[in-house]
Structure 1
Amino acid sequence: MKLFQCTNCKNTVVFENNKCVNCGYLLGYSSYYNKIVALDTNASKWQVLELDGKTYEYCENYKHKVCNWLVDVSRGRKFCLACSLNRTIPHILDDANLAKWKHIEIAKHRLVYQLLRFSLPVVSKIGDDLKGFCFDFLAREDLPEESKDTKTGHANGVITLLISEADPVVREQVKQQMAERYRTLLGHFRHEVGHYFWDLLIRDNPDILEEFRIIFGDESKSYADALTNHYNNGPQANWQQNFISKYASSHPWEDWAETWSHYLHLTDVLETAYNFGLRSNPKITAKQNIKMNASFDPYKETSFEKKMDTGIPLLFTLNSMNRSMGEDDPYPFIISKPVERKLEFIHDLLRKV
């Protein structure tokens, strides 16, 4: 994630801040200009010089304290680009639901930020049913009896998330039950939106689909049977040699979505390191080079090899720092050569967007 500054006092602020703790100005984010700007606390609409002098107001969801994005008043829209993707939100008169929704929106807004940085189309299914995507955030207890078995997932551009996933206790329980090493809201969003972009970028493109099948396998084999086999019999033997996760070994579609999410993980970490000017020069001589200099914007970098040569030592450093604090590895995965080839396929595909 990019580092931001208050345009009034130059204090460092983070992506979710809606007020500068140093000067007291309100803060708003422009997704078009990728900039956070300071706003007069005594107004509700602002002519913002840093945003070409246009007049802005907060997204409608600002009143619920779940969004700090700005909307151009001249466009006549109440919701920002990220919030316009919401088709269903939980009953927010329930304080517990509102708290969960806030956590969900933090992750979702970060996802949309990243999609825009990749120059991917972000279109609401509410306005374009054929090409868009949207989110349903559901509480299981509010579902009719016939839908009680609804799970987090994607279908035809609709990304469903059970809001219980925003409860860290519940999420940790599921993580243990599923024998997963990593489970986050942002990870869910990156994975599920990967299914949507497979439909959009690969499904109807014969040349790309052929290359996909060479690298990931034939997705036309029964998805339902593959998942049944996975849950009944476990992952493929020696899955670590060819897949980024156990679940990725279940079916080529899941392999794609898991690998896609990891490419997004890697790119986000690299952008953060780039903005902090991170570099490392370990005090040992190692067989594998673990020096690192995050001196480039990963969204503009064309060399996949450079991203990997920087990303692998960076992730190793990140894991080592966490262990120093007695925490688990934030990236508990091994990137094998076959997985690296899959990541390169995604890298090359995104360069063509």
Structure 2
Amino acid sequence: MQVFNCEACGHLIYFESLQCVHCGAPQAFLADQLRVGVLASGTASAGALRYRACAHRHDISLCNFAVAADDPDPLCVSCRQTEWLPDASNPANELRWAKIEVAKRRLYYTLARLGLLDPLGHGAAEPRFALLADIPGAAPVMTGHASGMITLNVVEADDDERARRRQALHEPYRTLIGHLRHESGHFYWDQLIANSAWLEPFRALFGYEGQDYGQALQRHYDRDTLDTGWREGFISAYAMAHPWEDWAETWAHYLHMVDLLETAASYATCITVPDIPGHGQQLIRDPFGSPAADFSVMQAQWVPLTLLHNSLNRSLGHGDAYPFTISAMAWNKLRFVHEVVNARRQQRASG
């Protein structure tokens, strides 16, 4: 995530900011420009009022995205992707929905930065979301993706429940943004890999996706969850379940990378990168900069950056924020995702 500053006074603000804490100016994310700007007041003339607030700005969602003044939809480009909401008569579900939307707006930003979404809504296929809660007596809601619809069980927004599931499944990492990034990977497999020239290279790296998916997942959950054999070729234990899950886990990890690298670059983080001969301290490169960072640079800077991140966490008494070690094969898969995404960006840039 890039650093944003209030355009009225220059004070640091966050991507989620509704108001500048320094001067009080109302803030809104302008999706068509991928920046946070001062939201014009309702008293501005019609000609000057280019944006208005998303309809969810003043409810529990606290959405800070803006809507173009001439857009007939009352919802912003992120909120309108959510097609199903949980039963709002349960106050807990409203809180869960609000937390998920915060994570979903961050996902929207990263996908737009990667050129995978059109902020103006012109032609780019977009994922849709169903945020659902379990109903007593009915089958539990399963988080997943099908035909462009990403379903998320909203109980994952509860920190205690998410921690319980993480421990039960012996996972090192489980977050809302991680879930959304993973499921978006399934969506973009359909968009970028299936029926494309990338399919055979995908199979060479990840395996044949035509194997029975249900049986593959069953084998995964029947396997000893403490088995560490996956570390040689996969980004996570779950990635070993099926080529689709390997892709989705790798895709999510790539989104982790570009987001954290962009954040570090925005704060002008200078770090020693011993993996590049002849280089001492250097600035973390912005993966979206001009020219965009080469993947080999991203890879070389990733290791010391995550070591720094973990060390800072330990200084405050927390566990490692980044509990992963990436094997050579997993790096090859991450590079493949990078190449696929860059090819799509170049294709869209050329018209």
User: Does TM, normalized by the shorter one, top 0.5?
Assistant: yes
CA distance in 1, matches of 2:17, 2:67: 16
Residue number in structure 1 paired with 2:252: 261
Give the deviation of 1:316 after TM superposition. Answer: 1.2
Distance 1:14 1:237, change over 3 A: closer
For residue 85 of structure 1, the aligned residue among 57, 81, 88 is: 81
Q: Gaps (5+ residues) in structure 2?
A: 345-351
Q: RMSD of the alignment, in Å?
A: 2.7
Q: Is the 8 A contact 2:133 2:141 kept in 1?
A: no
Distance 1:134 1:322, change over 3 A: same
For residues 167-178 of structure 1, what are the structure 2 equivalents within 5 Å?
Answer: 167-178=158-169
Distance 1:315 1:169, change over 3 A: same
Q: Is the 8 A contact 1:202 1:208 kept in 2?
A: yes
Residue number in structure 1 paired with 2:143: 152
CA distance in 1, matches of 2:86, 2:30: 26
Residue number in structure 2 paired with 1:28: 28
Q: Report the residue type matching 1:70 in the other structure.
A: A
Give the deviation of 1:76 after TM superposition. Answer: 1.6
CA distance in 2, matches of 1:256, 1:99: 31
Give the deviation of 1:286 after TM superposition. Answer: 9.6
Residue number in structure 2 paired with 1:138: 132
Identity %: 36
Structure (1/2) with the larger helix percentage: 1
After superposition, what is the alpha-carbon deviation per residue over 1:285-326, rounded to whole angstroms, capped at 9, x for unaligned?
Answer: 999999663443202425110010111110111111111112
TM-score, normalised relative to structure 2: 0.90
CA distance in 2, matches of 1:260, 1:175: 20
1:57 equivalent to 2:55? Answer no
Residue number in structure 1 paired with 2:349: none
1:293 equivalent to 2:289? Answer no
For residue 220 of structure 2, the aligned residue among 230, 249, 253 is: 230
CA distance in 2, matches of 1:95, 1:46: 36
Aligned pairs, how many? 340
For residue 100 of structure 2, the aligned residue among 101, 104, 114 is: 104
CA distance in 1, matches of 2:28, 2:44: 10
Q: Gaps (5+ residues) in structure 1?
A: none
Q: Is the 8 A contact 2:314 2:320 kept in 1?
A: yes
TM-score, normalised relative to structure 1: 0.89
Q: Report the residue type matching 2:4 in the other structure.
A: F
For residues 1-353 of structure 1, what are the structure 2 equivalents within 5 Å?
Answer: 1-39=1-39, 43-44=41-42, 55-66=50-61, 67-121=63-117, 131-141=125-135, 145-146=137-138, 148-205=139-196, 207-234=197-224, 238-281=229-272, 293-300=282-289, 301-353=292-344
What secondary structure does 1:322 align onto? helix
CA distance in 2, matches of 1:294, 1:165: 36
Give the deviation of 1:75 after TM superposition. Answer: 2.2
Give the deviation of 1:133 after TM superposition. Answer: 2.2
Distance 1:6 1:131, change over 3 A: closer
